[in-house]
Amino acid sequence: MARIAVIPGDGIGIEVTREVMRILQVLDAEMRLGLSLEAFDFGAERFLRTGVGLPPGQMDVFRTEFDAILLGAMGDPRVPDNAHAREILLGLRFGLDLYVNFRPCSPLAERLSPLKGKGPQEIDMTIFRENTEGIYGAIGGSFKRGTLDEVAIAEEIHTRKGVERIIRAAFKWASAHGKRHVALGDKSNAIAAHGLWLRTFREVAAEYPQIEARHYYVDALALQMVTRPESLQVIVTTNLFGDILTDLGAALSGGLGVAPSANLNPDSTPLFEPVHGSAPELTGKGLANPAAMVLSAALMLEHLGQAGAARRLSTAVQQTVAEGQCTRDVGGTLSTTEAADAILDRMLQGLRRTRT
């Protein structure tokens, strides 16, 4: 039995989470996966009522009693500073020490690529973004705020432990999946602290002689992602640069509506989420694409040792998008629920063909 905590979040996060729970329940019944889905109402509505994002002790419950967390998008204009989203999402990432942000980037169909002549064969990269250090440690602040003399300071934090474990995770995954090269993106030519990244990268790379280690300054790496994406397989980078490069990777894959992610630590409870926002302007209109949430659930199933079920989900998404049975953002005409129905139908067809 795998216990999964489901946090729908806000806006379209609630809509796509509802659809993926429906799909997972059918998949669980058909394949007898032993999934136990438990929903938590952590989001803007509860925060506005109680002033609390995550209740005291909830982190320990997730850490000790659940096998995975499936999280919808966070964000609500009624909470202008998004305090609840930071408390929940960043709280989970930092509190559970989920140091790997894992982002596969590849178009589901040729037409989704914005690059001429570059499709799924040429664009197939996986980004390992460091997830718990860097500039998002909230170290710094403002002095003389609101005056002409205001000074704003933000400091980056990089530890040998934090840098080495994310680089090691990238090489280990590359080795296990038959990848030939790993690229580091940093700015060690301009930011002295990034020398730690380059030195550590070279040291870890020496342990994997079968894998070519490539070093890029991050601006050159962004250029490479657009001009020669076929030259990149695995990328490892800092928290801030990873935040930017992964969205570039999502754009190359067809947009945020089809971009899944995983937040991982082999010694903690993993968290899986689509990378799109809560899109308040789309809420209730049936326009949200459920694909990214379904693909995030597929990553979750793979992590839980259900590789066959994960393939069923990802294949069904790929088929529906290829056939145009999808939402408007990826070239279809279906609503959120209709697109989820199409995914569910393709998934069931695949299961029936296997049994006959």
Sign of CA dihedral 321, 183, 272, 73: negative
Considering the candidates 28, 136, 179, 186, report the single residue annotated as catalytic. 136
183, 235 Cβ separation under 8 angstroms:
yes
247 is catalytic: yes
User: What distance lies between CA 199 and its chain's CA centroid?
Assistant: 27
Count the Cβ atoms, other than its own, within 10 Å of residue 86.
Answer: 15
Say what the alpha-carbon torsion angle 105, 323, 257, 238 is, to the nearest 10 degrees.
0
Q: Write down the H helix ranges in 32-176.
A: 44-50, 58-65, 83-85, 91-95, 160-176
Q: Give the integer Cα–Cα distance in Å for 99 and 263.
A: 7
Options 187, 216, 329, 341, the catalytic residue: 187
CB 182 within 8 Å of CB 168: no
286: left (phi over 0), alpha (psi -120 to 50) or beta: left
Is there a catalytic annotation at residue 187? yes
What string of DSSP letters covers 182-246? Answer: EEEEE-TTT-GGGHHHHHHHHHHHTT-TTSEEEEEEHHHHHHHHHH-GGG-SEEEE-HHHHHHHH
Closest of 353, 356, 334 to residue 19, by C-alpha: 334
Catalytic residue from among 67, 97, 124, 247: 247
Pairing of strands 35-39, 2-7: parallel
What does each C-alpha distance from 61 to 57, 132, 134, 180, 323 come to in angstroms? Answer: 7, 20, 27, 40, 42
243 a catalytic residue: yes
267 is catalytic: no
Q: Give the catalytic positions in this structure.
A: 136, 187, 219, 243, 247
